[in-house]
């Protein structure tokens, strides 16, 4: 099989420094932060506007990759479930998806709200939200 190569296009800057401090999901968050897009990918954000909702894929570089069963949202009363039936950050390929509102754009930096991701997390991709 061909080797998979991902390009990190930027990094998230925010005030969430631990999983315990992170909202459980982007739709439960009003946290604000900045998506710093690396200069070589800056042209790719042309056309994104303040007020727009974007879909951002992150690489959860601090997550475990060796568990296949988790308690949904850490609630042991719900019993163990397979990670693919949950939104757990613990998974073989720790890719997260967030829908974020663009508040402002300054060069290669997008100020966004709705963060549920740790400071310093690599950005894999940004897509327009389909309405």
pLDDT at 27: 65
Structure tokens at 125: 């991709």
Of the candidates 54, 17, 19, the residue with the CA atom closest to the CA atom of residue 35: 54
Domain that holds residue 71: 10-128
**Residue 46 belongs to a domain:** yes
**Residue 98 belongs to a domain:** yes
What φ, ψ does residue 113 adopt, rounded to 5°?
-125, 155
Q: CATH number of the domain at 108, please.
A: 2.40.30.70
pLDDT at 66: 84
Q: What is the pLDDT along the chain (131 residues), one digit of tens a residue?
A: 788 889 999 999 999 877 666 656 656 768 899 999 999 999 999 999 999 999 999 999 887 788 888 887 777 888 898 888 887 888 888 899 999 999 999 999 999 999 989 999 999 999 999 87
**Number of independent structural domains in the chain:** 1
**Residue 4 belongs to a domain:** no
**Residue 52 belongs to a domain:** yes
**Residue 1 belongs to a domain:** no
């Amino acid at each position: 099989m061909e080797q998979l190569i991902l390009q990190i296009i930027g990094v998230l800057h925010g005030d969430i420094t631990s999983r315990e401090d992170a909202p459980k999901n982007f739709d439960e968050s009003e946290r604000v932060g900045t998506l710093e897009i690396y200069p070589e990918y800056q042209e790719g954000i042309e056309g994104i506007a303040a007020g727009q909702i974007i879909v951002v894929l992150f690489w959860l570089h601090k997550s475990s990759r060796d568990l296949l069963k988790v308690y949904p949202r850490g609630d042991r009363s719900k019993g163990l479930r397979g990670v693919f039936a949950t939104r757990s950050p613990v998974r073989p390929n720790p890719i997260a998806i967030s829908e974020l509102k663009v508040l402002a754009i300054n060069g290669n930096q997008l100020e966004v709200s709705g963060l549920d991701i740790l400071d310093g997390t690599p950005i894999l991709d940004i897509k327009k939200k389909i309405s």
